Each structure stands twice: as C-alpha cells, then as structure tokens.
Amino acid sequence: MMKQYIISLLLLTGLLCSCNDDSNGGVPTGVLYLNIDEDRTLLTKAESEVTNESLRVDIIKASGDTLKSYKDYLTEVKGEKLILPVGKYAVSVSSNHSDEAAWETPFYQGCDTVEVAAGVITAAKVVCKIANTKVKVGYGSGIKDKFLNYEATVSSSSGTLTYERDEHRAGYFTPEKLNIDLRLVNNAGNEFHLRRVLEEVEPQHVYTFKFHLSNEDEDDNDAGADFGIIVDKQVDSVFCNIFIKEEELNGKGMPYCELEGFNNGIYSYKDGATLPATGQVLFNCFIGVNSTLQSVVVKTASPDFASGLSVFDLCKPEDVSKVEAKGFPKLQEIPIGENNKYKKYTLDLASFIPQLTIQEEMPTEHVFAVEVTDKLNQVITSSFTIKRLPDVAAATYEPICWTSFALLRGAADEQGYFKLRINDAEPIDITDVKVDENGNVFALIVGLSPNVSYTYWVASKSDETIKGKEIPFVVESCSIIPNLGFDNWSSRSEKKMEKLVLLHLQMQKGQMFIGIQGISVYSPM
C-alpha cells in the first residue's frame, strides 16, 4: 500500500489586504502559506516520508497559465508567505523526478483549487498520493532448487526493470498493462522464456508476482497457465501466483529466429535485376519440438500495408487471406529430421520481394518486425528489411536544406554528378560528389543565400542524355534571436539571472567546409 499525505494551504488574506507587492501594480493581494502534514488515517507503507521528497509546487491561474512555480517545497515554500493577487487558483504538487519505471521511487501527485479573497482567511488541503503502481517479484523454493538461473523482466510504457534472482527491491510503474517475462535456465543448461500480461492494473496498489514449481499431483496447474490471482482489498495488494511444471518444459525450449540471404538484416533488390530464386531469401523461426505456435505477429511500416494491414497474425486465417492478396508468403512448417529438439517454420520471400513498390522513384525500405509466441507464451522478436531500388539511369531527390547550405541527393551510375542553376543563369557542374554502393549520389553546397531560386538535377558523364528531374529549392533566412544584446538582459524578481547559451555558426560567402561524413563540399559563390 502507498502512503497519502496532505499539503495544508493557509491563505491569510484578512490581515494582509494592504500588503501589495509593487510588481502587482496595486492589485489586491492575499498571502498563501503552505505546510505539509501526514495523514495517518490510511494504512500505508511508503519508503520515505513525503516531507523528505523533492516536491514541485505550481500555482496555476484559472486561465490555465502558471503564475508561479517552485522546484523544491522544502527550500522555497515551506514556512514562506507567498503573496498572490486575489483570484482562483489550482495548486499542483508533484515529485520532481519523472514517473518512469524505477526502483523504490514512488511518484507523488496531487492537485486542488483554492480562492484567494480579500478580507477572508482561507484554508485548503491538497492530498498528495502515490500516482504509480508498486511491483514485487518472488520465487518459490522449487524454482530455486531446480533452475540454475532465473530472472523476471517487468515492463510497461514507463520503462523496464529486471528482477534478478536475488532482487528484493520493489519497482514503480505507471498504472497500466504490465508485461512479465520470466527467463529460466535449468541445471542442464536449457533456457526457457515465459511471458504473462496483466491487462488491468490500478494505481496505489501493490502487485506481487511469485513463480512456483508445481507438485507432480497438481494436474490443474499446467505450465504456462494463466495467473492464480488473489486480491486483498483491505490493503490494496494483488498476489499473482504463476505455476510451472518442470516436466512440461521438456522439448519446449526458447524459440529463436534466423535470416537467410540478408546482409545485416537487409535485402536490396533493384528493378530489372535477376530475381532471387525460391529458397534464397528466407525468414526462419524455430520452436520446441513438443510445443506449438500461438501467434506470429508481423508489424510493418511498409507503405504497401498502410491500409489496415500494418499488424497481422500469420496464425489467424482471416489475416493470412488479407496479406496473401499483397503477395505476402504463407508460413510453412519444414521437416528437419528426427531427434531434433526444434520445429522449423519458414517464410520464403523470393516471390514477394519484386511485388513491393518503389515510392516516388526513390529507394524505399519495407521494414517487417516479427514476434513469435509459442504455447508457453515464450516470445522472440526479429525483423528484416527489404530495400527496393529504382531502375533508372538518373533520379533527383528532394534536398535537405539549412539557412546557408544544402545537401543535394540523387541516384545515378558511377559517372553521376549534379547540375545547379542559380536563378536563370547557366547551370554549374558539381562533379565532386559522394557515391555509395547503391548508386546514391550526394554533394554538400555552402554559401547559399535566402530569397534566391536554386534548381538542380542529376546528370551523368557517361551519357549526356541521362538526366534526372529538375527540383527547385530555396533556403530560409536566419532567424534573429531576440534580446541577444547584453543591454537587454534582465533578472527575475527573485534576483536569479537566466543565462542564455548560444551556439552560433556563421558562414561567410565562399567559405569551404572540409568533409562532413565523407561528403564533398562545394560553394557556388
């Protein structure tokens, strides 16, 4: 359970109506006095008193604008009388640290409204509660005796924490779905990986996940079964018991994936090139010989799968029929001989590769992430990328522009270069370029001016008829940062000077830069 605390706000306005800060221009003011008291009415267990926490206090006007902010209640607010203009405010209190997953680090948060009125003494209370969820992990004696190593990873969108075998600390997470992954290594050195997902998670609750090795006579507790959940509502604790049968892990080892025909996970194919043969470009996954596939979920950012097909499961017939229309291959089980500990499943991508499209005549990457889950909820993830290259003699791509320089981009043969036209003048040849292994051409040009029309395209020395499309561009004017002069610098009412650090890169006409990531540099001026 978590501890709740009360921040008491005493607004003493009656005696101090005449105490107007000159900075308020004669507007009636009141005094806000903050104090923190512990609320002992709740049965809670916190790692530290809230009075020892570093708390941020924000005074927010009814319009939503923040009137004042204090980074530390103890050093800036406690015992101080805060003068505020008469009006309604929201007082927000929160821990200074982030709410990311962390060990023994609860995140406190609270908010209440208060009205500062002239001639009235106003008191208000803000209840500051722990806003996240506390998670513990434990292991039964059977797990400790039968397995050489074991650890559980708990994760949510707020982050990931790994509970090793001797980890007794509690972790704090945002109150949302929790993923629990258990990694086991038995005395024979075989590794197993079990996953559980707890969908409904509430704030200010303690969740304890304990892994047990089932007895032989406990037939109703199969390995990989769902949680045995016990909820103690009096102390807001949830006990999640997970039972494992060691004998049922035999032949159900940790899944794994392999790629064939890829180069560092990427397969590049250019239009017009020889198509890969069947069996040359493969995605393979392996699961224990005594296990079965539960799901093979594919997630992709490919533009060809944007219309409702960005996520699909190859174990669901309805999903398979949809992606087959896009040419995506079926998942096939491949026999790999007797006495093997694993079963093999394959995606043969050879016929699928040329069906992927090229976007706007530019090299287009189609990325596919695959998550394989077996009957024990053991999960393995892998990914592959298919890069489609256009079969064009020359292609010009949109440049990347800054205020006085630009990166020209295109594709051509080994003799490729750029032509650059400034306004309506004769084009300039930019022959000092960088060409990569895929035929992409780059050049960095500097000394450019705003409000000038530039046009460029790709050409080739090997053939004058080879020409990419012409692409016009302009560069923006450099923005002027206000109050840069020392005469315009000012201090706050608290006499704290704000320092401005400015990194200024000035580019003179005709200035030459030497090598940016191996890209040649040219100045037309």
* φ/ψ of residue 22, rounded to 5: -60, -30
Q: State the pairing for strand pair 171-173/102-103.
A: antiparallel
Q: What tokens does 55 get?
A: 């708390």
- Distances from the Cα of 279 to the Cα of 98, 151, 347, 350, angstroms: 50, 38, 9, 7
* φ/ψ of residue 275, rounded to 5: -70, 145
CB 45 within 8 A of CB 31: no
pLDDT at 430: 92
Q: Is 23 exposed, middle or buried (0-12, 13-18, 19+ CB in 10 A)?
A: exposed
Q: Is 474 exposed, middle or buried (0-12, 13-18, 19+ CB in 10 A)?
A: middle
- Residue that is written with structure tokens 């997630």 in the block: 299
- Distance, CA of 192 to CA of 382 (rounded, Å): 17
The sign of the torsion formed by the CA atoms of 41, 42, 48, 52 equals negative
pLDDT at 311: 95
- Distance, CA of 240 to CA of 79 (rounded, Å): 45
- Distance, CA of 445 to CA of 507 (rounded, Å): 12
Angle at alpha carbon of residue 305, lines to 304 and 309, rounded to 5°: 165
Give the type of residue at 174: T
The sign of the torsion formed by the CA atoms of 140, 146, 148, 153 equals negative
- Distance, CA of 184 to CA of 191 (rounded, Å): 6
- Distance, CA of 106 to CA of 314 (rounded, Å): 41
Any idea what DSSP says for residue 359? B
CB 92 within 8 A of CB 119: no
CB 469 within 8 A of CB 397: no
DSSP annotation string for 274-294: PPPPTTSSEEEEEEETT--EE
pTM of this structure: 0.53
In 3D space, the residue among 306, 303, 202, 188 whose CA is nearest the CA of residue 251 turns out to be: 188
pLDDT at 18: 41
Q: State the pairing for strand pair 266-270/379-389.
A: parallel
- Distances from the Cα of 347 to the Cα of 269, 279, 308, 330, 354, angstroms: 18, 9, 21, 6, 15
- Distance, CA of 70 to CA of 34 (rounded, Å): 12
For the chain, what's the residue count? 525
Any idea what DSSP says for residue 74? I
CB 295 within 8 A of CB 374: no
Q: What is the pLDDT along the chain (525 residues), one digit of tens a residue?
A: 445 555 554 444 333 444 444 455 566 776 666 655 444 333 334 444 555 568 888 989 988 899 989 888 888 877 777 778 888 888 888 888 888 999 998 888 888 888 887 866 666 677 788 888 999 998 888 888 888 889 999 999 899 999 998 898 999 999 998 988 888 888 777 777 777 788 888 888 899 988 887 764 444 444 444 445 454 544 467 777 777 766 566 677 778 999 999 999 999 998 888 999 999 999 999 998 888 899 999 999 999 998 789 999 999 999 999 999 999 999 999 988 777 888 999 999 999 999 999 887 778 899 999 999 988 778 889 999 999 988 777 889 899 998 889 999 988 878 889 999 999 899 999 998 988 876 789 999 999 998 899 999 999 888 888 888 899 999 987 766 565 555 554 444 333 333 322 222 323 333 333 333 444 455 555
pLDDT at 146: 81
Angle at alpha carbon of residue 173, lines to 170 and 178, rounded to 5°: 100
Q: What tokens does 377 get?
A: 């909820």
Q: Name the 3-class secondary structure at 354.
A: helix
pLDDT at 160: 95
- Distance, CA of 478 to CA of 511 (rounded, Å): 17
CB 388 within 8 A of CB 357: yes
Helix spans in 159-297 (H): none
Q: What DSSP element (H or E) covers 85?
A: strand 81-85
